[in-house]
Amino acid sequence: MTNNTRNFCIIAHIDHGKSTLADRLLEETATVEKRKMKEQLLDTMALERERGITIKLQPVQMKYKKTDGNEYVLNLIDTPGHVDFAYEVSRSLAAVEGAVLLVDATQGVQAQTLSNLYFAIEHDLEIIPVVNKIDLPNADPVKVKREIASVIGCSPESVLEVSGKTGQGVSKLLEQIIERVPAPEVEEKKPLRALIFDSIYDSYKGVLTYVRIMEGTLSQNETVRLMVGGVKSTAIEIGHFKPHYVPCKTLSAGDIGYIATGLKSVAQCRVGDTVTGSGDNQSDEILEGYKEVRPMVYASFYPLEGDEYTAMRDALEKLTLNDAAFVFEPESNRALGRGFRCGFLGLLHLEIIQSRLESEFDIHPTITTPSVVYHVMVRGESEPQIIYSPTEMPDPGTIEQMQEPFVKLEIVTPSEYLGTIMDVMGKTRAEYRDTQYLDTQRVLLSFNAPLIDVIVQLHDMLKGATAGFASMNYEAIGYRSSELVKLDIMIAGDMVEALSRIVPKKQAYAEGKHTVEKLKELLPRQNFAVAIQATIGAKIIARETLSAFRKDVTAKLYGGDVTRKRKLLEKQKKGKKRMKQTGKIDVPPKAFFEILKK
């Protein structure tokens, strides 16, 4: 039977029609009844359906009778197409033997298409190139087929044409999947080894791990062990995805299915971990490719009202049940009160957590500007200090070197926007690497850039400069030494920690000047003059003064001796001096966020 099994996934750039094509495959194979069919069936989260993107991948098993009369089992894994979820894509690819490379006939090859294609080639997958959305009036399948052919080195004629919307070409695609995707290699006699490619939390069954059985067999109620996590549990239920959960008695090598573990946290069942059995069914070798997913981007979430703090903590804890890559810890600051420092894979991941807080828990957090993790080499220490927040920075006099995360950035753009993109990139600290022409009209630009420059505003700047035609993709390439300084803001002689940030030394003056000018506009005036200063260490690099309210204390005098007037003005002056020494300024939260906007 396993020789009639085909495991494959669909890889594509975000919004190229993966989930819609998956719907047509389900219809064509009669996996889901017509009356139960709805759009984006495999996108199970409400947020996915609302935004039209895939966040959590939902696998499905289909049965298809080929024209030769044989029945085949097709296991499809739908993968997320966004750069933040690249590790999930790589684990999904390790669980299959073939990949359908899907490209939009109206947009052509995009940055994420290339990134996922390279992943698939690394995993030695059989690649079936497909042009989607051929039913659209502005589709140009001939041009896009040539583009795909030049990228993967096949003939344009071998690229299939389909329409995920109308179902045109879908049956031909299914035939090609059966013909070209190799059957899984079966090693049923060996001890159990299964790869976890996803896990979700179920309130009744505990954590459900989505697995591909690589070797051996697994039976219901068998004791299983997670080799990296070191946790043991019982497989209280095992089964297949159709696409709802259908229990079965055994899963064998080559199968894709789920294991209900009864565990209470997805953090114990990490993506990429290896599941093995007990006794004779136990293996000692971990499947290669496991990686600890670490947050790349940090931001602080603060409740709008102080009494929402507990509700927000409970909501964040519930979100971590289903998302092992999301981390948070409590923190507090003078301007915003108590909140949480949260770690994310990228900006889309942050937006997803924010949207889920708002839609599922009705909590609308105040969010600080995203930042990254810095490494600081301190004199006399062999290991770098890891800095999550500017407030953790050591004394500048003891710092030998500062390092920040860099990424390899790839931008795919129509060639007429080449000059505009170079202008945009010239405003960042990115280093140009090379230019590659995908065809006469599309260019792939490569840069090495600091991650902070990429995440804060580059995406919006690129889209604005190219009328939305450019697409970008990035991957981490490690830490590099940079000239960075901590920029502090002082208001009325007091340092406001919430406004401190780490900036490139060359941009420190401009950043400081921008901040103090903005604060002068935003802070409420006081009864005394307020000095707003930007400092690096003990050196003041920019200053503005917020002038005081001034009450006319001489208004009640009707003529009389001028010395009386002077006496009252002198008294007012002394009072203001005393207020200046003791006065405290509170930065309103609204001002805090306005400053961080460019």
HEC assignment per residue over 436-497: EECCCCEEEEEEEEEHHHHHHHHHHHHHHHCCCCCEEEEEEEEEEEECEEEEEEEECCEECH
Pick 463 or 7 by higher pLDDT. Answer: 7
8 A C-beta contact, residue 168 and residue 68: no
Highest mean pLDDT among 134-148, 265-279, 400-414: 400-414
pLDDT in the model for residue 558: 66
Please spell the DSSP secondary structure of 329-371, one letter per residue. EEEEETTTEEEEEEEESSHHHHHHHHHHHHHHH----EEPPPB
Summarize pLDDT for 26-49 with one digit per residue, the tens: 877 777 655 455 444 444 444 444
Class of domain 193-281: mainly beta
Per-residue pLDDT, averaged over 152-176, amounts to: 80
DSSP state of 191: P
Q: Which long-range contacts (CB under 8 A, 24 or more apart) does 64-72 make?
A: 64/28, 64/29, 64/174, 64/178, 66/175, 66/178, 67/175, 70/4, 71/4, 72/4, 72/5, 72/6, 72/178
**pLDDT at residue number 273:** 82
Token pair of 556 as six digits: 């009640």
Indicate if the pLDDT at residue 2 is higher than 70.
no
User: At residue 561, what is the residue type?
Assistant: D
Q: Is the pLDDT of residue 585 over 70?
A: no
Q: In the prediction, which pLDDT does 448 show?
A: 92
Q: Does domain 374-482 have CATH number 3.30.70.240?
A: yes
Q: What's the angle, vertex CA 510, arms to CA 508 and CA 513, rounded to 5?
A: 105
The stretch 61-80 carries a mean pLDDT of 79
User: Could you tell me if 370 and 456 are in contact, meaning their C-beta atoms sit under 8 angstroms apart?
Assistant: yes
Domain ranges of the chain: 2-180, 193-281, 297-367, 374-482, 486-596
pLDDT-based confidence at 166, cuts 50/70/90? confident
Let me know how many helices (H) and strands (E) the chain has, helices first.
14, 31
**Residue 190 CB coordination number (10 Å):** 15
Q: What is the band of 1 on the pLDDT scale with cuts at 50, 70, 90?
A: very low
502-529 pLDDT, tens digit each: 888 888 898 889 888 888 888 877 777 7
| Mean per-residue pLDDT, 164-188 | 81
Longest dimension (CA), the chain: 115
Residue 33: phi and psi, rounded to 5, are -65, 145
CA 421/CA 445 separation, integer angstroms: 9
Token pair of 81 as six digits: 């197409």
* Distance (Å, whole) CA 18 – CA 190: 35
Q: What is the pLDDT of residue 45?
A: 46
Distances (CA, A) of 301 to 324, 517, 598: 18, 26, 20
Angle at 264 between CA 262 and CA 268, to 5 degrees: 100
Lowest mean pLDDT among 195-199, 276-280, 409-413, 445-449: 276-280
- Listed range (156-160, 421-425, 450-454) with the worst mean pLDDT: 156-160
Q: In this structure, are strands 71-78 and 5-11 parallel, antiparallel, or unpaired? A: parallel
Same fold, 297-367 and 486-596: yes
508's tokens? 């420190």
Percent of the chain whose predicted confidence (pLDDT) is above 70: 84
Question: What's the confidence (pLDDT) of residue 447?
Answer: 92
How many angstroms separate the CA atoms of 192 and 465, rounded?
A: 53
Written as one letter, the residue type at 579 is: M
pLDDT of residue 80: 66
Residue 35: the pLDDT is: 47
pLDDT of residue 48: 44
pTM of the prediction?
Answer: 0.70
Residue 61 has pLDDT above 60, yes or no: yes
Using the predicted structure, report yes or no on whether residue 122 has a pLDDT greater than 50.
Answer: yes
- Record: fold of 297-367: Alpha-Beta Plaits (3.30.70)
Would the pLDDT of 281 be above 80?
Answer: no
Q: Is the peptide bond before 365 cis (omega within 30 degrees of 0)?
A: no
Q: Could you tell me what percentage of the chain is helix, strand and coil, using 3-state DSSP and rounding each to the nearest 5?
A: 30, 30, 35
Q: How confident is the model at residue 22 (pLDDT cuts 50, 70, 90)?
A: confident
Q: How far apart are CA 159 and CA 157, in angstroms?
A: 5
Q: Is 401 exposed, middle or buried (0-12, 13-18, 19+ CB in 10 A)?
A: middle
pLDDT (tens digit per residue) in 336-388: 778 888 988 877 788 888 888 887 888 888 777 778 889 998 888 888 888 88
Average pLDDT, the chain: 79
Model confidence at 333: pLDDT above 80: no
Task: Give residue 50's pLDDT band: very low, low, confident or very high (50, 70, 90).
Answer: very low
Q: Evaluate if residue 535 carries a pLDDT over 80.
A: yes
Indicate the DSSP class of residue 322. H
CA angle 124, 128, 133 (to 5 degrees): 140
CATH 3.90.1010.10 matches 2-180: no
CATH number among 3.30.450.70, 3.30.70.2570, 3.90.110.10, 3.90.1150.10, domain 486-596: 3.30.70.2570
- List the structure tokens of 348: 């889309």
pLDDT of residue 583: 52
DSSP-assigned letter for residue 542: E
pLDDT mean over 533-537: 88
